[in-house]
Structure 1
Amino acid sequence: MRPFRAAEALLLTLLLALATACGSRLPESAFAGRPTGSAGGEPLRVGIITSATSPVGGDAFTGPREGALAYFAALNADGGLNGRRIEPVTCDDGGSGVGNTACVHELVDEKKVFALVATTALDYAGAPLVDRAGVPDIGGQPLGPAYDTYPHLYGIYGSLAPRTGSSPGWNGVLYGGTEVYRYFRAEHGAGTAAVVSYNQAASAAYARLIVEGLRTEGYKVVTEQVDFALPNYRAVAADLRAQHADLVFDALDSHGNARLCEAMDEARVEVTAKVTNVQNWNAAVPEEYAKSPVCRNALWVTGSSRNYEDTDQPAVRAFREGIRGTLKGRPLAQWQLEGWAAAMWFTDAAKSCGADLTRACVERFLNRPEPYTADGLLLPVRFEHLAEPPKTRDTCMSVARWQDNHGWVTQGGDMTTNCASVPQIPYRP
């Protein structure tokens, strides 16, 4: 369990579905470039499913795939996995359940991949098929409840849930902590927080979840709702100024966030933090928030992986060196780092098996009691299969703030020490 990471992603999925009511797309797949490492045996095929041509468009969900491909390319250049080349096979599911199921059939049934890595699927409809086939899915992004449901799926943030395959979490209920709200209250004295949402079911439901967490941590909460089709962000900004909000959280899409920031700058609203999530943790901030320099420099992000700007860390330097040649003009992004970490996780699990490489051996590594950190790129990841959810949990997080000319600057010290024991709040995905 992490601080509502799955809930954030599920909200985005539902908002995209509402905004783009269009038909299904068939998957487009292609092999990645042929590995160049030394061949000590047959290449080992690994599948990567991505909603690359999803309704949101652009490269919104390709970051984990880019990071994983860069890691495997570097691994192959260094001799491969115990002398075997990794052959990554990619599949674009188009952001639809139909396309996702087709990708699973292609990779699992036709291409016979050994494992899946860094899955980033808006609608992971094929998850039951992956689980039934016993194919380990390692380091996927939880854009829905699948990684808290199926035992052969291992999300990038870990899980404490039973994962029996019958229902998500504990009888359909998941839990998230209040550490984000605790941090801003304890470290920055924030007392009034605004939550902005659309008048749309998924957005409103996620906003209520944020409100509950904020109130649990003792905040005065101001709720703002805008019309999904014709949002009046100027009215919201005016009220934020009148209410003297310290923090702004939202249940909006990325476009809505940018427009809200523009309105806040126009109304001269200055806050301690405009808090966003890991999906917006990238180097494209100057372009996306070009019209709102004040709000732009109040953007904060929280997550469960080490800031890609922390180049004093050897593991971050290795990632940036490895990803450099594959970006082709695209901005650096935290999801790329997490995709790199996912590929490293698979590799470390496979290396632990030596010459006797089996899926069962790989999963023993994933299920071991020792947490995994990908050389410090991730907060400790565990899969504990608890029968009952904890009421409180010691939880750590990484925090960064955007600053022009510096990028995302880490705040609050090292992520492994930026921790608190916080209550766990239930929600239904």
Structure 2
Amino acid sequence: MNWFLKGALSAALLTVGSVSATAEPGVTDDMIVLGAVDPLTGPPSLLGKAHSLSLKVWQEDVNARGGINGRKVKIVFEDDGYVPSRSLQSLKKMVDVDDIFGLIGTSGSSQLAAMMPLIDEIGLPSINSMAVNSRHFNPPLNSLFVVGPTYCQEIAAGMTYLVEELGLKDEKYAIAFQDDEFGDDVRCGYLQGVEKYGLNNVLELEFKRGQKDFSAEMLKARAAGVTVLISGGVVAEHSTLLKEAAKNRMKITFLGAHSAHLTPVQALAGSAGDGFYAADYVPALNSLEVTGVAKFMELANTYLSESEVKSLNRYALSGFAGASMFEHAMTQCGEDLTRTCVIEKLQNLNGFETDGLLGPVTFGEGVRHAPTAVMVLQSNAKDSTFSIVSERMEVD
């Protein structure tokens, strides 16, 4: 072999070796491609749109700051319509066609569950800050990080507030819960509260997902003398239960999980939507005294249209916090950005702060759930706001 061919071959081998040593899906010299699956159509779209808009805000802010170690961020958004089979199809498309590096939008509880086998198979760094269920981390997947308490933990903390702060130990308690994993998780927290405080559990009402008429259920509740109702619905169910209670002239204290912390619940319930409680792990959008909320809203007003800003809700805050954690991990990896490194950096988060959007976030070896502290908010239906009425409560 002459010197020219030997030189060319050596150069080619060096080039191939360099590419194989540094190439990572979704990472180029100047770009990082990430994916997000959200429900952008259908009834749950108010959740998915707010979440995706927060990721858009994060993307624009990161890129305006020069990117992550010199690389700009590009997010590929896919709409799953809140259908688990479509969630998996969307993820496959983003992996096979868009060549994403990681996943920062994971849709709902069942939707993420459908994506988990593929996430685990390819070791895709993923962060879930939208819908938390114990099956997402029990058993844990190495590359999937779950932020926020389960609905069970939220409701249990909310019931602590009802008993210890509002003095409602001697009331008659009931729960209305959806016939799926979400409803089961809400019921889990309810039963924990009942057992912990020896509460009078007079009624448990299971209803079909998507049910619109709750007149029969609330008549049963009135007959049983219910004075505290725990709601295990998603969005419209909360408001319908509230309206039925008002229609039946029931004076009840109403508590929902974070899905009740939405202005559409207030709007649909009308005057009946004033004063109800929601247990959540992020503050209200109007809580501008919280540094993280004020910063996010300033960015949102910079990068979103007026109509988009009006579409924001609590899912925007949890989404932005989750993306900020992912950014921190990628930044810590430096120029040699790999999936393995991001997983390691997320695992090593210990007391990570988000300027008050969340309580301190901690993962660890074999620990993929960070059940951040819960607060209770109260609805102010007249001006479509929520007020923080409790301190943050740590959960088990």
Q: Match for 1:46: what amino acid?
A: L
Matched, 1:299 2:276: yes
Confirm or deny: 8 A CA contact 2:262 2:314 kept in the other structure: yes
Q: Kindly tell me: are residues 384 and 222 of structure 1, through their superposed partners in 2, closer, same or farther at Cα, counting changes over 3 Å?
A: farther
Distance 2:305 2:327 in 1: 20
**Residue 243 of structure 1: how far off its partner (Å):** 4.7
Match of 1:104 in 2: 91
Confirm or deny: 8 A CA contact 2:148 2:372 kept in the other structure: no
Q: Match for 1:377: what amino acid?
A: L
Matched, 1:141 2:130: yes
Q: Match for 2:95: what amino acid?
A: V
Match of 2:376 in 1: 399
Once the two structures are superposed, what CA deviation does each residue of 1:101-124 show, in whole Å capped at 9, x if it has no partner?
Answer: 222222122222111113214423
Q: Kindly tell me: are residues 61 and 407 of structure 1, through their superposed partners in 2, closer, same or farther at Cα, counting changes over 3 Å?
A: same
Matched, 1:132 2:121: yes
CA-based RMSD of the aligned residues comes to 3.2
Q: Kindly tell me: are residues 246 and 57 of structure 1, through their superposed partners in 2, closer, same or farther at Cα, counting changes over 3 Å?
A: closer
**Residue 71 of structure 1: how far off its partner (Å):** 1.1
Match of 1:34 in 2: none
Give the TM-score normalised by the residue count of structure 1: 0.73
Match of 1:255 in 2: 236
Q: Where in structure 1 are there 5+ consecutive unaligned residues? A: 1-39, 160-173, 425-429
**Greater helix percent: which structure?**
2
Confirm or deny: 8 A CA contact 1:196 1:207 kept in the other structure: no
Confirm or deny: 8 A CA contact 2:215 2:244 kept in the other structure: yes
- Which SS does the other structure have where 1:289 is aligned? helix
Count of aligned positions: 355
Matched, 1:373 2:353: yes
Match of 1:163 in 2: none
Once the two structures are superposed, what CA deviation does each residue of 1:218-273 show, in whole Å capped at 9, x if it has no partner?
Answer: 211121437649876445445545555442112334333222211111222222x3
Distance 1:113 1:280 in 2: 33
Match of 1:5 in 2: none
Matched, 1:214 2:193: yes
**Residue 41 of structure 1: how far off its partner (Å):** 4.4
Confirm or deny: 8 A CA contact 2:38 2:80 kept in the other structure: yes
What are the within-5 Å matches in structure 2 for residues 40-55 of structure 1?
41-54=29-42
Confirm or deny: 8 A CA contact 2:51 2:315 kept in the other structure: yes
What are the within-5 Å matches in structure 2 for residues 66-81 of structure 1?
66-81=53-68
Match of 1:184 in 2: 162
**Residue 399 of structure 1: how far off its partner (Å):** 1.3
What are the within-5 Å matches in structure 2 for residues 151-170 of structure 1?
151-157=142-148
- Which SS does the other structure have where 1:328 is aligned? helix
Distance 1:204 1:377 in 2: 26
Match of 2:51 in 1: 64
Q: Which has the larger radius of gyration?
A: 2
- Which SS does the other structure have where 2:128 is aligned? strand
Give the TM-score normalised by the residue count of structure 2: 0.78
Once the two structures are superposed, what CA deviation does each residue of 1:312-358 show, in whole Å capped at 9, x if it has no partner?
Answer: 12211111122232562543311111111111111111111222322
